Amino acid sequence: MNKSYDVVIVGGGVNGGSIAFQLAKRGFKVALIEKDQLACKASHAAAGMLGAQTELTEDGPLFQLARKSRAMFPALADELRELSGIDIGLVNKGMLKIALTPEEKGEFKKIISLQRQLGEETSWLEPEELKKYEPELSDRILGAMYIPHDGQVSAPDLSMAFAKAAAVMGADIVEYTEVIGFILEHGTAKGVITNTGNIYADKVIVTAGAWSGRLLKENGIYISTYPVKGECFSVLTHKPLIEKTIFSHGCYLVPKKGGRLVVGATMIKNTFDEQVSLGGLSGLMERAKVILPAIEKAKWEKAWAGIRPQTEDGLPIIGEHPEYEGLWIATGHYRNGILLSPITGLLIADLIERKPVDEKLLRAFSFERSSIIQA
Ligand SMILES: Cc1cc2nc3c(=O)[nH]c(=O)nc-3n(C[C@H](O)[C@H](O)[C@H](O)COP(=O)(O)OP(=O)(O)OC[C@H]3O[C@@H](n4cnc5c(N)ncnc54)[C@H](O)[C@@H]3O)c2cc1C
Protein backbone atom coordinates (compact mmCIF):
# COMPACT_ATOMS: atom_id res chain seq x y z
CA MET A 1 0.00 0.00 0.00
CA ASN A 2 1.63 3.28 -1.12
CA LYS A 3 -0.86 6.10 -0.98
CA SER A 4 -0.94 9.82 -0.64
CA TYR A 5 -3.28 12.02 1.44
CA ASP A 6 -3.53 15.56 2.81
CA VAL A 7 -3.69 14.20 6.34
CA VAL A 8 -2.97 10.82 7.90
CA ILE A 9 -4.32 10.19 11.40
CA VAL A 10 -2.73 7.51 13.59
CA GLY A 11 -5.26 5.82 15.90
CA GLY A 12 -8.97 5.19 15.43
CA GLY A 13 -10.26 6.05 18.90
CA VAL A 14 -12.71 8.84 19.67
CA ASN A 15 -10.13 11.59 19.11
CA GLY A 16 -8.80 10.24 15.82
CA GLY A 17 -12.38 9.81 14.65
CA SER A 18 -13.39 13.32 15.68
CA ILE A 19 -10.41 14.89 13.89
CA ALA A 20 -11.00 12.75 10.78
CA PHE A 21 -14.64 13.82 10.75
CA GLN A 22 -13.84 17.54 11.04
CA LEU A 23 -11.13 17.47 8.39
CA ALA A 24 -13.04 15.28 5.92
CA LYS A 25 -16.03 17.60 6.30
CA ARG A 26 -13.79 20.50 5.28
CA GLY A 27 -12.66 18.75 2.10
CA PHE A 28 -9.29 17.33 3.23
CA LYS A 29 -8.23 13.96 1.85
CA VAL A 30 -7.92 11.98 5.07
CA ALA A 31 -6.73 8.50 6.05
CA LEU A 32 -7.53 7.19 9.54
CA ILE A 33 -5.15 4.33 10.39
CA GLU A 34 -6.04 1.91 13.19
CA LYS A 35 -3.79 -0.88 14.39
CA ASP A 36 -6.67 -3.08 15.47
CA GLN A 37 -10.41 -2.30 15.15
CA LEU A 38 -11.88 1.19 15.36
CA ALA A 39 -12.61 2.29 18.94
CA CYS A 40 -11.36 -0.88 20.57
CA LYS A 41 -9.28 0.71 23.37
CA ALA A 42 -10.06 3.48 25.91
CA SER A 43 -12.84 4.84 23.71
CA HIS A 44 -14.64 1.52 24.05
CA ALA A 45 -13.97 1.17 27.78
CA ALA A 46 -15.24 4.63 28.73
CA ALA A 47 -18.42 5.12 30.74
CA GLY A 48 -19.34 8.07 28.50
CA MET A 49 -19.83 10.74 31.17
CA LEU A 50 -19.71 14.34 29.99
CA GLY A 51 -18.59 15.51 33.41
CA ALA A 52 -17.33 19.03 32.71
CA GLN A 53 -18.44 20.32 36.10
CA THR A 54 -18.30 16.99 37.93
CA GLU A 55 -14.77 15.96 37.01
CA LEU A 56 -13.16 19.39 36.66
CA THR A 57 -13.73 21.57 39.65
CA GLU A 58 -11.15 24.33 39.35
CA ASP A 59 -11.34 27.24 36.97
CA GLY A 60 -8.66 27.05 34.30
CA PRO A 61 -8.05 26.16 30.65
CA LEU A 62 -9.19 22.54 30.98
CA PHE A 63 -12.46 23.56 32.61
CA GLN A 64 -13.05 26.08 29.82
CA LEU A 65 -12.21 23.53 27.14
CA ALA A 66 -14.52 20.97 28.73
CA ARG A 67 -17.43 23.40 28.90
CA LYS A 68 -16.99 24.35 25.25
CA SER A 69 -16.88 20.69 24.24
CA ARG A 70 -19.91 19.74 26.31
CA ALA A 71 -21.91 22.48 24.59
CA MET A 72 -21.17 20.91 21.20
CA PHE A 73 -22.91 17.58 21.95
CA PRO A 74 -26.58 18.31 21.16
CA ALA A 75 -25.91 19.57 17.62
CA LEU A 76 -23.24 16.91 17.09
CA ALA A 77 -25.64 14.13 18.10
CA ASP A 78 -28.06 15.22 15.34
CA GLU A 79 -25.32 15.70 12.75
CA LEU A 80 -23.71 12.33 13.45
CA ARG A 81 -27.08 10.53 13.42
CA GLU A 82 -27.90 12.03 10.06
CA LEU A 83 -24.54 11.17 8.51
CA SER A 84 -23.71 7.85 10.10
CA GLY A 85 -27.11 6.50 11.15
CA ILE A 86 -25.67 5.98 14.66
CA ASP A 87 -27.41 7.32 17.75
CA ILE A 88 -24.65 8.37 20.19
CA GLY A 89 -27.02 7.92 23.14
CA LEU A 90 -26.85 11.49 24.42
CA VAL A 91 -28.69 11.72 27.75
CA ASN A 92 -29.12 15.11 29.39
CA LYS A 93 -30.52 14.18 32.79
CA GLY A 94 -27.72 15.74 34.82
CA MET A 95 -25.26 14.30 37.31
CA LEU A 96 -25.21 14.05 41.10
CA LYS A 97 -21.88 14.33 42.88
CA ILE A 98 -22.59 12.80 46.24
CA ALA A 99 -20.92 13.59 49.57
CA LEU A 100 -20.22 10.70 51.93
CA THR A 101 -18.25 12.71 54.53
CA PRO A 102 -18.69 16.15 56.12
CA GLU A 103 -15.39 17.18 54.46
CA GLU A 104 -16.77 16.35 51.01
CA LYS A 105 -19.97 18.23 51.81
CA GLY A 106 -17.95 21.37 52.68
CA GLU A 107 -15.72 20.96 49.62
CA PHE A 108 -18.66 20.50 47.21
CA LYS A 109 -20.48 23.55 48.59
CA LYS A 110 -17.38 25.65 47.84
CA ILE A 111 -17.24 24.21 44.30
CA ILE A 112 -20.91 25.12 43.80
CA SER A 113 -20.22 28.70 44.76
CA LEU A 114 -17.18 28.93 42.45
CA GLN A 115 -18.96 27.35 39.49
CA ARG A 116 -21.94 29.66 39.92
CA GLN A 117 -19.59 32.65 39.82
CA LEU A 118 -18.32 31.25 36.53
CA GLY A 119 -21.88 31.23 35.21
CA GLU A 120 -22.58 27.50 35.53
CA GLU A 121 -25.76 25.99 36.91
CA THR A 122 -25.36 23.80 39.99
CA SER A 123 -27.01 23.51 43.41
CA TRP A 124 -26.76 21.64 46.69
CA LEU A 125 -29.37 18.97 47.49
CA GLU A 126 -29.96 17.94 51.09
CA PRO A 127 -30.56 14.18 51.60
CA GLU A 128 -34.37 14.48 51.59
CA GLU A 129 -34.33 16.44 48.29
CA LEU A 130 -31.84 13.99 46.84
CA LYS A 131 -34.18 11.11 47.68
CA LYS A 132 -36.93 12.77 45.66
CA TYR A 133 -34.71 12.51 42.57
CA GLU A 134 -33.14 9.15 43.39
CA PRO A 135 -35.08 7.19 46.04
CA GLU A 136 -32.80 4.12 45.87
CA LEU A 137 -29.69 5.99 47.04
CA SER A 138 -28.29 5.09 50.45
CA ASP A 139 -29.25 6.91 53.66
CA ARG A 140 -25.52 7.34 54.36
CA ILE A 141 -25.25 10.06 51.71
CA LEU A 142 -24.99 13.54 53.23
CA GLY A 143 -26.30 15.38 50.18
CA ALA A 144 -25.19 16.03 46.63
CA MET A 145 -24.02 18.63 44.19
CA TYR A 146 -26.62 18.62 41.41
CA ILE A 147 -25.19 19.43 37.98
CA PRO A 148 -28.06 19.61 35.46
CA HIS A 149 -25.94 20.07 32.31
CA ASP A 150 -23.41 17.25 32.72
CA GLY A 151 -24.85 14.43 30.63
CA GLN A 152 -23.57 11.22 29.11
CA VAL A 153 -23.26 9.37 25.80
CA SER A 154 -22.46 5.87 24.65
CA ALA A 155 -18.68 6.15 24.16
CA PRO A 156 -18.33 3.29 21.65
CA ASP A 157 -21.26 4.64 19.60
CA LEU A 158 -19.82 8.17 19.60
CA SER A 159 -16.44 6.85 18.46
CA MET A 160 -17.96 4.73 15.68
CA ALA A 161 -20.26 7.57 14.61
CA PHE A 162 -17.30 9.95 14.19
CA ALA A 163 -15.40 7.42 12.06
CA LYS A 164 -18.42 6.47 9.97
CA ALA A 165 -19.38 10.11 9.40
CA ALA A 166 -15.77 10.81 8.37
CA ALA A 167 -16.00 7.93 5.87
CA VAL A 168 -19.27 9.32 4.52
CA MET A 169 -17.41 12.61 4.01
CA GLY A 170 -14.73 10.79 2.01
CA ALA A 171 -12.13 9.69 4.59
CA ASP A 172 -10.41 6.32 4.11
CA ILE A 173 -10.64 4.16 7.21
CA VAL A 174 -7.82 1.62 7.37
CA GLU A 175 -8.13 -0.96 10.15
CA TYR A 176 -5.67 -3.72 11.18
CA THR A 177 -2.74 -1.57 10.07
CA GLU A 178 -0.08 -0.53 12.53
CA VAL A 179 1.93 2.65 12.19
CA ILE A 180 5.51 1.80 13.11
CA GLY A 181 7.33 4.97 12.11
CA PHE A 182 7.21 8.42 10.58
CA ILE A 183 8.57 9.65 7.28
CA LEU A 184 10.50 12.77 8.28
CA GLU A 185 12.49 14.80 5.77
CA HIS A 186 14.62 17.70 7.01
CA GLY A 187 12.45 18.05 10.12
CA THR A 188 9.17 17.91 8.18
CA ALA A 189 6.62 15.09 8.42
CA LYS A 190 5.83 13.54 5.06
CA GLY A 191 3.83 10.50 6.10
CA VAL A 192 3.92 7.28 8.09
CA ILE A 193 5.50 3.86 7.79
CA THR A 194 3.04 1.04 8.46
CA ASN A 195 3.38 -2.72 8.63
CA THR A 196 1.81 -2.84 5.15
CA GLY A 197 3.70 0.01 3.48
CA ASN A 198 4.16 3.78 3.46
CA ILE A 199 1.37 6.33 3.50
CA TYR A 200 2.35 9.82 2.38
CA ALA A 201 0.67 12.98 3.69
CA ASP A 202 1.41 16.66 4.26
CA LYS A 203 0.26 16.34 7.83
CA VAL A 204 0.52 13.46 10.30
CA ILE A 205 -1.67 13.52 13.42
CA VAL A 206 -0.89 11.13 16.26
CA THR A 207 -4.02 10.19 18.20
CA ALA A 208 -2.90 6.79 19.43
CA GLY A 209 -4.20 7.39 22.96
CA ALA A 210 -2.02 5.92 25.72
CA TRP A 211 0.24 4.39 23.03
CA SER A 212 1.10 7.78 21.47
CA GLY A 213 4.10 8.37 23.74
CA ARG A 214 5.48 4.89 23.11
CA LEU A 215 5.15 5.13 19.32
CA LEU A 216 6.80 8.55 19.26
CA LYS A 217 9.58 7.45 21.61
CA GLU A 218 10.37 4.44 19.42
CA ASN A 219 10.97 7.03 16.70
CA GLY A 220 13.15 9.30 18.81
CA ILE A 221 10.47 11.85 19.70
CA TYR A 222 9.73 12.36 23.39
CA ILE A 223 6.43 13.49 24.93
CA SER A 224 5.83 13.29 28.63
CA THR A 225 2.85 10.94 29.02
CA TYR A 226 1.98 7.80 30.97
CA PRO A 227 -0.82 5.21 30.96
CA VAL A 228 -3.48 4.92 33.70
CA LYS A 229 -5.51 1.73 33.65
CA GLY A 230 -9.21 1.84 34.55
CA GLU A 231 -11.53 -1.09 35.27
CA CYS A 232 -15.34 -1.07 35.10
CA PHE A 233 -18.20 -3.54 35.36
CA SER A 234 -21.85 -3.53 34.38
CA VAL A 235 -25.01 -5.09 35.81
CA LEU A 236 -28.58 -5.45 34.56
CA THR A 237 -31.80 -4.70 36.39
CA HIS A 238 -35.47 -5.14 35.39
CA LYS A 239 -36.25 -1.55 36.18
CA PRO A 240 -33.64 1.23 36.29
CA LEU A 241 -32.35 1.81 39.85
CA ILE A 242 -31.23 5.37 39.12
CA GLU A 243 -32.05 7.97 36.50
CA LYS A 244 -29.08 10.30 36.81
CA THR A 245 -25.37 9.51 36.81
CA ILE A 246 -24.10 9.26 40.39
CA PHE A 247 -20.50 10.35 40.93
CA SER A 248 -18.38 9.97 44.04
CA HIS A 249 -14.69 9.81 44.84
CA GLY A 250 -13.52 6.40 43.67
CA CYS A 251 -16.78 5.17 42.13
CA TYR A 252 -19.45 6.28 39.69
CA LEU A 253 -22.66 4.69 38.47
CA VAL A 254 -23.92 5.48 34.98
CA PRO A 255 -27.42 4.29 33.96
CA LYS A 256 -27.54 3.12 30.35
CA LYS A 257 -30.35 1.97 28.04
CA GLY A 258 -32.17 -1.27 28.79
CA GLY A 259 -31.64 -1.34 32.57
CA ARG A 260 -27.81 -1.51 32.24
CA LEU A 261 -25.77 0.14 34.94
CA VAL A 262 -22.07 0.84 34.38
CA VAL A 263 -19.91 1.07 37.50
CA GLY A 264 -16.38 2.51 37.30
CA ALA A 265 -13.56 2.99 37.59
CA THR A 266 -10.21 2.07 39.11
CA MET A 267 -7.03 4.11 38.54
CA ILE A 268 -3.78 2.17 38.19
CA LYS A 269 -0.79 4.15 36.95
CA ASN A 270 2.00 3.09 34.59
CA THR A 271 0.59 -0.12 33.18
CA PHE A 272 -0.58 -1.18 29.73
CA ASP A 273 -2.02 -4.41 31.16
CA GLU A 274 -5.69 -4.62 30.13
CA GLN A 275 -6.65 -7.54 32.40
CA VAL A 276 -9.43 -7.02 34.93
CA SER A 277 -8.28 -7.70 38.51
CA LEU A 278 -10.38 -9.17 41.31
CA GLY A 279 -9.00 -6.56 43.71
CA GLY A 280 -10.06 -3.72 41.43
CA LEU A 281 -13.56 -5.10 40.91
CA SER A 282 -14.24 -5.99 44.53
CA GLY A 283 -13.25 -2.46 45.61
CA LEU A 284 -15.67 -0.98 43.08
CA MET A 285 -18.45 -3.34 44.16
CA GLU A 286 -18.03 -2.40 47.82
CA ARG A 287 -18.21 1.32 47.01
CA ALA A 288 -21.19 0.83 44.69
CA LYS A 289 -23.11 -1.03 47.44
CA VAL A 290 -22.46 1.81 49.89
CA ILE A 291 -23.96 4.29 47.41
CA LEU A 292 -26.78 2.16 45.97
CA PRO A 293 -27.61 -0.81 48.25
CA ALA A 294 -30.16 -2.26 45.79
CA ILE A 295 -27.35 -2.98 43.31
CA GLU A 296 -26.67 -6.14 45.31
CA LYS A 297 -29.67 -7.82 43.66
CA ALA A 298 -28.72 -6.78 40.11
CA LYS A 299 -27.70 -9.39 37.54
CA TRP A 300 -24.01 -9.50 36.60
CA GLU A 301 -23.26 -8.55 32.99
CA LYS A 302 -19.51 -8.11 32.37
CA ALA A 303 -16.25 -6.39 33.35
CA TRP A 304 -13.57 -4.71 31.26
CA ALA A 305 -10.52 -2.47 31.44
CA GLY A 306 -9.06 0.34 29.36
CA ILE A 307 -5.92 2.47 29.35
CA ARG A 308 -6.23 6.24 29.73
CA PRO A 309 -3.59 8.56 28.28
CA GLN A 310 -2.30 11.00 30.92
CA THR A 311 0.34 13.78 30.80
CA GLU A 312 2.71 14.90 33.56
CA ASP A 313 0.86 18.20 34.06
CA GLY A 314 -2.62 16.74 33.64
CA LEU A 315 -3.46 18.74 30.51
CA PRO A 316 -4.02 17.20 27.09
CA ILE A 317 -1.56 17.87 24.28
CA ILE A 318 -3.26 19.46 21.26
CA GLY A 319 -0.95 20.98 18.67
CA GLU A 320 1.93 20.77 16.23
CA HIS A 321 5.30 19.53 17.44
CA PRO A 322 7.72 22.47 17.58
CA GLU A 323 10.62 20.53 16.05
CA TYR A 324 8.79 18.63 13.29
CA GLU A 325 6.67 20.64 10.90
CA GLY A 326 3.48 18.83 9.96
CA LEU A 327 3.61 16.43 12.94
CA TRP A 328 0.56 17.03 15.09
CA ILE A 329 -0.35 15.36 18.36
CA ALA A 330 -3.68 15.09 20.19
CA THR A 331 -3.46 12.95 23.29
CA GLY A 332 -3.40 13.02 27.09
CA HIS A 333 -7.16 13.41 27.46
CA TYR A 334 -6.99 11.14 30.51
CA ARG A 335 -10.42 10.71 32.21
CA ASN A 336 -12.20 13.12 29.86
CA GLY A 337 -11.40 12.06 26.32
CA ILE A 338 -15.02 11.37 25.40
CA LEU A 339 -16.13 14.75 26.75
CA LEU A 340 -13.22 16.55 25.03
CA SER A 341 -13.39 14.76 21.67
CA PRO A 342 -15.67 17.24 19.84
CA ILE A 343 -13.54 20.27 20.71
CA THR A 344 -10.31 18.38 20.01
CA GLY A 345 -11.47 17.63 16.45
CA LEU A 346 -12.65 21.17 15.93
CA LEU A 347 -9.46 22.80 17.25
CA ILE A 348 -7.06 20.61 15.30
CA ALA A 349 -9.06 21.20 12.10
CA ASP A 350 -9.17 24.97 12.74
CA LEU A 351 -5.43 25.06 13.42
CA ILE A 352 -4.64 23.07 10.28
CA GLU A 353 -6.88 25.33 8.22
CA ARG A 354 -5.17 28.32 9.89
CA LYS A 355 -8.54 29.64 11.06
CA PRO A 356 -8.66 32.06 14.01
CA VAL A 357 -8.64 30.16 17.30
CA ASP A 358 -8.66 31.12 20.97
CA GLU A 359 -4.87 31.30 21.19
CA LYS A 360 -4.75 32.07 24.89
CA LEU A 361 -6.77 28.93 25.65
CA LEU A 362 -4.84 26.74 23.21
CA ARG A 363 -1.48 27.80 24.58
CA ALA A 364 -2.20 25.75 27.71
CA PHE A 365 -2.43 22.58 25.61
CA SER A 366 0.36 23.34 23.15
CA PHE A 367 4.03 22.39 23.15
CA GLU A 368 4.82 25.81 24.62
CA ARG A 369 4.86 24.02 27.98
CA SER A 370 8.38 22.72 27.60
CA SER A 371 7.89 20.01 30.27
CA ILE A 372 5.96 18.03 27.67
CA ILE A 373 8.98 17.44 25.43
CA GLN A 374 11.72 17.09 28.03
CA ALA A 375 12.81 13.62 29.04
C1 LIG B 1 -12.49 2.77 32.37
C2 LIG B 1 -12.50 4.12 31.70
C3 LIG B 1 -13.59 4.95 31.86
C4 LIG B 1 -13.60 6.20 31.22
N5 LIG B 1 -14.71 6.99 31.35
C6 LIG B 1 -14.75 8.19 30.71
C7 LIG B 1 -15.91 9.00 30.78
O8 LIG B 1 -16.89 8.62 31.42
N9 LIG B 1 -15.90 10.19 30.12
C10 LIG B 1 -14.82 10.62 29.40
O11 LIG B 1 -14.89 11.72 28.84
N12 LIG B 1 -13.71 9.86 29.30
C13 LIG B 1 -13.64 8.67 29.93
N14 LIG B 1 -12.53 7.89 29.86
C15 LIG B 1 -11.36 8.42 29.15
C16 LIG B 1 -11.49 8.21 27.65
O17 LIG B 1 -11.90 6.89 27.40
C18 LIG B 1 -10.17 8.48 26.95
O19 LIG B 1 -9.63 9.73 27.34
C20 LIG B 1 -10.39 8.52 25.42
O21 LIG B 1 -11.09 7.38 25.01
C22 LIG B 1 -9.06 8.60 24.69
O23 LIG B 1 -9.37 8.50 23.32
P24 LIG B 1 -8.22 8.42 22.24
O25 LIG B 1 -8.87 8.39 20.92
O26 LIG B 1 -7.25 9.51 22.51
O27 LIG B 1 -7.47 7.03 22.59
P28 LIG B 1 -7.96 5.51 22.41
O29 LIG B 1 -9.41 5.35 22.53
O30 LIG B 1 -7.11 4.67 23.28
O31 LIG B 1 -7.61 5.24 20.88
C32 LIG B 1 -6.29 5.15 20.42
C33 LIG B 1 -6.30 4.18 19.25
O34 LIG B 1 -5.02 4.18 18.64
C35 LIG B 1 -4.73 2.86 18.22
N36 LIG B 1 -3.29 2.73 18.07
C37 LIG B 1 -2.36 2.67 19.05
N38 LIG B 1 -1.14 2.57 18.52
C39 LIG B 1 -1.29 2.56 17.17
C40 LIG B 1 -0.40 2.46 16.08
N41 LIG B 1 0.92 2.35 16.27
N42 LIG B 1 -0.90 2.46 14.82
C43 LIG B 1 -2.24 2.59 14.60
N44 LIG B 1 -3.13 2.67 15.62
C45 LIG B 1 -2.66 2.67 16.88
C46 LIG B 1 -5.31 1.98 19.33
O47 LIG B 1 -5.55 0.66 18.88
C48 LIG B 1 -6.59 2.74 19.66
O49 LIG B 1 -7.70 2.27 18.94
C50 LIG B 1 -12.48 6.62 30.46
C51 LIG B 1 -11.40 5.76 30.28
C52 LIG B 1 -11.39 4.52 30.88
C53 LIG B 1 -10.23 3.60 30.66
Q: What's the whole-model pTM score? A: 0.98
Do 48 and 370 form a contact (C-beta atoms < 8 A)?
Answer: no
255 lines ligand 1 (CB under 6 A): no
Nearest ligand 1 atom to the CA of 194 is: 42
Residues in the chain: 375
The atom of ligand 1 lying closest to the CA of 14 is: 25
Distance 239 CA to ligand 1 centre (A): 31
Cβ atoms of 351 and 201 closer than 8 Å: no
Residue 2 has pLDDT above 60, yes or no: no
Could you tell me the pLDDT band of residue 3, with boundaries at 50, 70 and 90? Answer: confident
Give just the sign of the alpha carbon dihedral 14, 317, 363, 62: positive
Give 199's pLDDT tier (boundaries 50, 70, 90): very high
pLDDT given for residue 375 in this prediction: 58
Question: Ligand 1: does its nearest atom lie under 6 Å from the Cβ of 319?
Answer: no
Mean pLDDT, rounded, for 282-305: 98
pLDDT of 148 above 80: yes
pLDDT level of residue 274 (50, 70, 90 thresholds): very high
Q: Tell me what the mean pLDDT of segment 231-243 comes to.
A: 96
Residue ID of nearest Cα to ligand 1 atom 27: 209
Residue in 38, 76, 211, 218 to alter for ligand 1 test, most ligand atoms within 8 A of Cβ: 211
Determine the distance separating the centroid of ligand 1 and the alpha carbon of 131, expressed in angstroms. 35
**Residue 1 pLDDT greater than 60, yes or no:** no
Between strands 30-33 and 95-98, the pairing is unpaired
Q: Could you tell me the pLDDT band of residue 57, with boundaries at 50, 70 and 90?
A: confident
Percent of the chain with pLDDT over 70: 99
317-327 mean pLDDT: 96
Distance 67 CA to ligand 1 centre (A): 20
| Residue 244, SS3 per DSSP | coil
